[in-house]
Structure 1
Amino acid sequence: MAGHLRNVARLLTIARVLARHDALFLLDSLAVLKPVALVARAVSRRAVPGRPGQKLAAAFTDLGPTFIKLGQALSIRADLLGEEIAADLSDLQDALPPFSFTEVRKAVEEELGQPLESLFSSFDETPVAAASIAQVHFAVTAPDAEGRTQEVAVKVLRPGVEEAFRKDVELLHWLARLAEAAQPSTRRLRPVETARAFEDAVVMEMDLRFEAAAACEVAENFADDDDFRVPAIDWMRTGRRVMTLERVNGIPINDREALAAAGLRPVDLVTRVSNAFFRMVFRDGFFHADMHPGNIFVDRDGTIVAVDFGIMGRVDRQTRRHLGEMLLSFLTANYRRAAEVHFEAGWVGADQSVDAFTQACRSIAQPILGRPLAEISIARLLGQLFHVTETFDMHTQPQLLMLQKSMLVSEGVGRTLAPDVNMWEMARPLIESWMADNLGPQARLKDGLTTLGDSIERLPRILAATESTLGKIQSGGLRLDPETVKALRGRKRSWAAALPWVLVLVLGLLLILK
């Protein structure tokens, strides 16, 4: 009960902030929360100019770090909010006022167990970037045994952000469960699973050791690549709340004048960015999910340097194969095969019509693929595809949504550098080679043998578990937990159905007592 009251109180605060920014449509979209939106609108509504997505982005900024991250996560959910709102949320600036150098010193010394001066010979007190989760300072390491120093960037977690996130994410889980219980139509969008994925992603982002590990993994994957690299991590000066890495002195990838002055050709850089992104996704199944221009630099020799590995995506081998075959089918206008891949992957239920879904694939792809080559957007194609899937009861695939958003950002980088070039066409030789290696008969045979080997390895455990279960049934020792029985019987009245009116009552009392 205490948890419900705490969540209701936080929800009321959020509703009033949304009302002040005229962004209550977010609550209006859930029938169970309409009473909350109704009262908040009566109390706090203001007329605010701008598009709905811009208003929502401003409200999320006011609500703090968790909601800034939530806005970024929702920017990939055009299936939930529509393309215009999702696009506006993608422009949400992850920036907050910096915290004091006193707090920075305290965090560094507590985390690394040494005085700041023992670790660094100089440390800039003014941050170069201050975001919702952390801020970054430039520094120079203290001399090592051989007298060597290194220019570094030090990322420090924002004080109190972990506790604030814990409270807000508890509310998000509560709302997700409420939505599924009171509005079954939302289950296709997997709100509970989405809330869990959001929590997992931000928890990892708030432990800077995970970001450091992600950077090292990508560095290993590209160890033999001369066109792409990752700054080295200083593990001796890295912990849960502090991360130290090599300072990048390259040219920001969106500084076209500086790139031209350095003699770097935009077409070459687009090729390197597209090849690196393609290799991350299809070769490695582990990709940088936030490759916006602020996170990409170019060395003087043209090498692409990526930073900020807090948001990463993973795609398993089977999904990569399905995705690769789907993209190849679209690019060759084989819409029937594109539709079949969705059924084979289990993304669309077997009870749906393959013919109808083929027609839907054609309706999405032809307007996009029929454009001039430089204007073709694979990310837009995927976004349109996910947008129409409700008709076919296609369950949300969070990993594909993140990939689609990452593709969109990467395409934006490519168009900034060379508007007349299509980055996916430049990567086509790699795509075709990967397809041949992973979709051909030999690859399928290899995958089949691997699957068979895994099944044989699991067989003894499966047989042992089956034998144990049969023994319990025969001896009468297998019983359902009483709580499980109670849940299976169900309740005559769902708590979720009554909750809106409880919220109205609470809001009314607050207004009377105000």
Structure 2
Amino acid sequence: MRLTQHNAIYLHARRYREIINVIVKYGFGYLLERIGLARLISGDKYRKVRRLTAPERVRLMLEELGPTFVKLGQILATRPDVIPPDYIEEIKKLHDRIPGVGFDRIKEQVERELGIRIEEVFSSFEPQPFAAASIAQVHRAVLKSGQSVVVKVQRPGIERVIKADLDILQSLARLAERHIPESRIYDPVGLVEEFAHALQRELDFTREGWNVERFRRNFEGDYSVYVPRVFWEFTTRRVLTIEYVSGVRVDQLDKIEEMGISRKKIAEKGARAILKQIFAHGFFHADPHPGNILVRPDGRIAFIDFGMMGRIDRYTRYKMADLIKNVVKRDEERIVDILLDIGDAGRQCNIGELQLDVQDMLERYYGRTLKEINMTGLLNEIFATANRYGIKIPPGFALLSKAILTIDGIGRQLYPEFDFIKIAGPFVKQLMKERYSLPYMARVLRANLGEAARSLLLLPDLIGEIYDKVKRESIKIDFEYNGLEKFAFELNRMTNRLVFSMIVAALIIGTSLIIRSNAGPHLQGFPIMGILGFVLAGVLGFGLLISIIKTGIM
């Protein structure tokens, strides 16, 4: 059940005031004034932090607000379509900066969850965590069997804190949408709901355990990637016990060289592993920062921390591959088409201006080789531009883009000559080949024909309803320029297809008449003009089918 703004204030009054005081302290009190909470502001506490940049103040504010807001910052850092690059770079520093909980409370939490004394499960359990995050902390331990493991333990009482903070965030988001019109383009309520859903999933460690299992199955037989085992008998909703993986962080360049492993090979191997997750599995590590990727002594790549995973369907994979292909080709028209296909365009979307902006963006790279272009940075810039024009890019695309950006950055750090496009090329080509294969085209055509048939069955009733409404009362239609432009764009595309279809149909009919009349020069007993007509009709018809499949709609 959703809380109203007033219920949230009264139910969590003390926490509400704490949050407001911290927001004011870091210089964002003017936002509270705009959403009508000026009465809750007490004094000017901003003076002490005036010399800090705005991104630094945001990071420090999130840290002081506590675990929920730290996690919010970490998730926002995966949304380059919403957060500017300088803020993302600063917010990234939130990783691994959270103080740990005392061992007595952790021991109590583990024993409560497992229903057994900690000494009966582990022969040793290190009291000091070697990693502490906003929701949980991780301890090294050894099972009675001698197996080295890491135990991820949820912070005691964190669920209660998160529930209160989420209620407050939802009320603040609704106030922002109501009182700050320019915020609506970012859909604050939707962002908080998306964050709340992701956070609720992350609070259940059994989900993370299943993520590891699925990841492990996906890479079965691939000896370039190592995936740890989950010990389910010692795993619950708040405790996750997983195999300890030895290795060095992927950004510890000196240690990698000391192990005698080629940095170039590690860069290429890591990139292929991420791209395989995205384009082949549709299930990928959504937070592949250097702390979550290890290089083992045998040269294999190991991923850890599977709390944040991305999932994308086949259609989204095709669109991402199509986008990369057209960015390489620098085809701004096709890029805008793809953005409109994958995103939800609002009324304020000016397609002509968007196309010009994308064209300007691509022209900045004119004359450069593909290796010189920061492809992932360019993709993020395209998504940010689309967002500025009111096109809401699905969260899965943003996570995917962030994963690609991260692995590209790590690759260049390991090996300055790292060429992302060269590594990504085979994956993109394979997807394009699959997409234009006859089985896939047949499936799409069958689905579209089925949808068209259902629409035709509904059409008489729909026309009848419109006719009755026209008879009873007038229908008022409001046209806004930007909305009309998008309508005209879609109408133009449909009209072009209709005319194209008519030309193909006319060619088939005309060619059939030529063959029937048996006129003109012949080849193997058939009129040459008739053969050429059928070939041309086939090529044009195939082109029309490709156009339909590219957009996924009739």
Instruction: Return the alpha-carbon distance in structure 2 between the equivalents of residues 291 and 346 of structure 1.
Output: 25
Instruction: Return the alpha-carbon distance in structure 1 between the equivalents of residues 285 and 362 of structure 2.
Output: 26
Instruction: Return the alpha-carbon distance in structure 1 between the equivalents of residues 177 and 288 of structure 2.
Output: 33
Contact 1:438 1:444 in 2 (8 A): yes
Q: Which segments of structure 1 move beyond 6 Å, counting only runs of 4 or more?
A: 451-456
Q: Partner of 1:72 in structure 2?
A: 74
Q: Deviations over 1:144-201 (max 9, x none)?
A: xxxxx31111111111111111100111111222222334443332222211110111
What's the secondary structure of 2:340's corresponding residue? helix
Matched, 1:5 2:25: no
Matched, 1:110 2:112: yes
Instruction: Return the alpha-carbon distance in structure 2 between the equivalents of residues 94 and 33 of structure 1.
Output: 35
Q: 1:133 to 1:44 in 2, by over 3 A?
A: same
Contact 1:23 1:56 in 2 (8 A): no
Within-5 A mapping of 1:75-474: 75-143=77-145, 149-348=146-345, 354-368=351-365, 371=368, 373-390=370-387, 392-440=389-437, 442-449=439-446
Matched, 1:31 2:34: yes
Q: Partner of 2:543 in structure 1?
A: none
Contact 2:310 2:396 in 1 (8 A): yes
Contact 1:99 1:158 in 2 (8 A): yes
- Equivalent pairs: percent with the same residue? 30
Instruction: Return the alpha-carbon distance in structure 1 between the equivalents of residues 449 and 241 of structure 2.
Output: 44
Using CA pairs under 8 Å that are at least 6 residues apart, name the structure with larger relative contact order, 1 or 2: 1
Paired letter, 2:330 = A
TM-score, normalised to structure 1, is: 0.81
Q: Partner of 2:514 in structure 1?
A: none
CA shift for structure 1 position 78: 4.4
Paired letter, 1:18 = I
Instruction: Return the alpha-carbon distance in structure 2 between the equivalents of residues 262 and 97 of structure 1.
Output: 32
Q: Deviations over 1:450-498 (max 9, x none)?
A: 6778999x99xx99xx9xxx9xxxxxxxxxxxxxxxxxxxxxxxxxxxx
Q: Deviations over 1:5-45 (max 9, x none)?
A: 3456534322321333x3417x63983257369x4562554
Paired letter, 2:85 = E
Contact 1:335 1:358 in 2 (8 A): yes
Instruction: Return the alpha-carbon distance in structure 2 between the equivalents of residues 403 and 351 of structure 1.
Output: 26
After superposition, the CA RMSD in angstroms is 2.9
Instruction: Return the alpha-carbon distance in structure 1 between the equivalents of residues 190 and 324 of structure 2.
Output: 26
Contact 2:279 2:427 in 1 (8 A): no
Instruction: Return the alpha-carbon distance in structure 1 between the equivalents of residues 447 and 224 of structure 2.
Output: 33
CA shift for structure 1 position 370: 5.3
Contact 2:27 2:46 in 1 (8 A): no
Counterpart selection for 1:14 from 7, 19, 23: 19
Paired letter, 1:384 = E
Q: Partner of 2:506 in structure 1?
A: none
* Greater Cα offset, 210-219 or 48-57: 48-57
CA shift for structure 1 position 50: 2.7
Paired letter, 1:24 = F
What's the secondary structure of 1:136's corresponding residue? strand
Q: 1:29 to 1:301 in 2, by over 3 A?
A: farther
Paired letter, 1:206 = L
Contact 1:19 1:45 in 2 (8 A): no
Contact 1:368 1:377 in 2 (8 A): no
What's the secondary structure of 1:125's corresponding residue? coil
Instruction: Return the alpha-carbon distance in structure 1 between the equivalents of residues 85 and 33 of structure 2.
Output: 19
Instruction: Return the alpha-carbon distance in structure 2 between the equivalents of residues 374 and 41 of structure 1.
Output: 53
What's the secondary structure of 1:14's corresponding residue? helix
Within-5 A mapping of 1:37-52: 39=41, 42-43=44-45, 45-52=47-54
Contact 2:370 2:421 in 1 (8 A): no
What's the secondary structure of 1:91's corresponding residue? helix
Matched, 1:54 2:59: no
Contact 1:79 1:386 in 2 (8 A): yes
Q: Deviations over 1:272-329 (max 9, x none)?
A: 1111111111222211111111111112221110000111111222222222211111
CA shift for structure 1 position 358: 2.7
TM-score, normalised to structure 2, is: 0.75
Q: Deviations over 1:384-433 (max 9, x none)?
A: 12322255321242222222222222222112211221233223222212
Larger radius of gyration: 2
Contact 1:96 1:132 in 2 (8 A): yes
Q: 1:300 to 1:341 in 2, by over 3 A?
A: same
What's the secondary structure of 1:135's corresponding residue? strand
CA shift for structure 1 position 264: 1.1
Contact 1:411 1:423 in 2 (8 A): yes
CA shift for structure 1 position 345: 3.0
The number of residues matched between the two structures is: 454
Q: 1:325 to 1:57 in 2, by over 3 A?
A: same
Q: Partner of 1:476 in structure 2?
A: none
Q: 1:80 to 1:299 in 2, by over 3 A?
A: closer
